[in-house]
Amino acid sequence: MKAIFFFLLGAVAGAYAMYVHEGRESEAKGSVSARLRDWRLDPDDVRADLGKTGEVVRARARAAGEQINDLRIVATIKAKYLLDRELSATDIHVQSKNGQVALNGTVSAPELVGKATALALDTEGVSNVTARISVQAGP
Q: Is there a contact between 114 and 43 (Cβ–Cβ < 8 Å)?
A: yes
Edge to edge, the sheet with strand 56-59 lists: 56-59, 128-135, 100-107, 92-97
Q: Could you give the C-alpha distances from 106 to 68, 83, 134, in angstroms and in order?
A: 27, 17, 5
> With DSSP H G I counted as helix, E B as strand and the rest as coil, what are the percentages for the chain, rounded to 5?
55, 20, 30
Classify residue 27 by burial, with Cβ atoms within 10 Å: 0-12, 13-18, 19+: exposed
pLDDT attached to residue 4? 67
pLDDT attached to residue 26? 46
d(CA 108, CA 7): 43
d(CA 17, CA 14): 5
pLDDT attached to residue 76? 93
Q: What angle do CA 42, 51, 30 make, to 5 degrees?
A: 10
Which regions in the chain score pLDDT beneath 70?
Answer: 1-30, 60-68, 138-139
pLDDT attached to residue 59? 74
pLDDT attached to residue 10? 59
